[in-house]
Amino acid sequence: MTNPGWGGAANEGIPPQPRCVRHPDRPTALSCNRCRRAACPECLREAAVGYQCVDCVAAGQRDVRPVRNVAGAVTAQRQVPLVTYILMAANVGIFLITAAQSRSLMQNYSGSTLFQDWALYPPAVVDGQLVRIVGSGFLHFGLIHIAVNMFALWIIGRDTELILGRARYFVVYLASILGGSAAVMLLQLGAVTAGASGAVFGLMGAQAIILLRLRRSPAPVISVIAINVFISITIPGISLWGHLGGLVTGAAATAGILYGPQLLGSGNNREKAVTVGWVCLGVVALVPLAVIAVRILQLRASIGY
């Protein structure tokens, strides 16, 4: 007589245990509550009722519409303000290049060919050196200048990026640089200007508009703007017009994103509102470019270029 606890003859009637659909080498008695397929513990996730396999969880997430904020940007719990950090790294990297060329952290503007080639000097722009229009926004006069601007960008830029979304935030930043350059081309022909201050002022203007759209008081941001404008007026060597040009452009660009869809009657259609916001942002960004182009033509005509 054969002992049922030993040998194969007594086990012939027992069906084989199911195998995990993602790991065929793993027998399992568990299954997904949604698709009923066999799944090992590693492939199951806790759900509202029972457990679901990772494939069903992923399919369910694709069916859920993303949560968007007031600007139409997708809201994520752990979103990193990546563009702000990239812009800070770019500014610091360019500053280190100018410091290495001039062999000085405090007087990096005095022997750096990059600084001399990128600083905003309107006569040079008229001569065709267009890189100065944007490149000057990444230059700084000494260590204190860049430290103040990068601290301001870190404080203001992170929240602004999370509201506007990375792509639109980046365009608002660049548009603010263009706005500052356009103001300098109009009103400070003989000045040599540089710095991310115009872009930072643009982000201050953006934050004020965002707070208004959220129906919150913009008083704290407006107070900071007023203090910085006062400093720009009272301290020699600071480009007031560059700051104001960036401020106006950043505020106008953000207003186009947040209020443009409402004014054009597409506020209830989220997809259309995002598209209209982009169009408004593009129009605002083109204005300083048009101002700069017209100014170049005027100056060339005046000197018989």
Whether this prediction's pTM lies above 0.85 is answered by no
Counting the structural domains of the chain, the total is 2
Looking at the structure, tell me whether residues 49 and 122 fall in a common domain: no
Domain CATH number, residue 155: 1.20.1540.10
Task: Work out the average pLDDT over 219-228.
Answer: 93
Looking at the structure, tell me whether residues 138 and 23 fall in a common domain: no
pLDDT interval class at 7 (50, 70, 90): very low
Looking at the structure, tell me whether residues 20 and 159 fall in a common domain: no
pLDDT for 73-100, tens place per residue? 555 556 889 999 999 999 999 999 999 9
197 annotated active-site? yes
Task: Work out the average pLDDT over 140-155.
Answer: 96
Question: Residue 68 domain-assigned?
Answer: no
Residue 159 burial class via C-beta count within 10 angstroms: exposed 0-12, middle 13-18, buried 19 and up: middle
Note down the domain range covering 222: 82-302
232 annotated active-site? no
- Residues 72-92 as b/e (b if ≥16 CB within 10 A, e otherwise) read bbeeeeeeebebbeebbeebe
**Hunting for tokens 């259309």 — which residue is that?**
272
Question: Residue 3 domain-assigned?
Answer: no
Looking at the structure, tell me whether residues 26 and 109 fall in a common domain: no
Tokens matching residue 271: 């997809």
Question: Averaging pLDDT over each range in 71-75, 107-111, 181-185, which range is the top one?
Answer: 181-185
Looking at the structure, tell me whether residues 48 and 159 fall in a common domain: no
The runs of H, that is alpha helices, within 17-165 are 54-63, 82-102, 113-118, 122-126, 131-135, 142-164
pLDDT interval class at 235 (50, 70, 90): confident
Looking at the structure, tell me whether residues 122 and 243 fall in a common domain: yes
Catalytic residue among 136, 140, 239, 243, which?
Answer: 243
Question: Residue 73 domain-assigned?
Answer: no
Radius of gyration of the chain (CA): 29
Identify which has the larger pLDDT, 29 or 99. 99
Residue 272 burial class via C-beta count within 10 angstroms: exposed 0-12, middle 13-18, buried 19 and up: middle
Looking at the structure, tell me whether residues 198 and 111 fall in a common domain: yes
- Residue 223 pLDDT > 80: yes
Catalytic residue among 102, 181, 197, 239, which?
Answer: 197
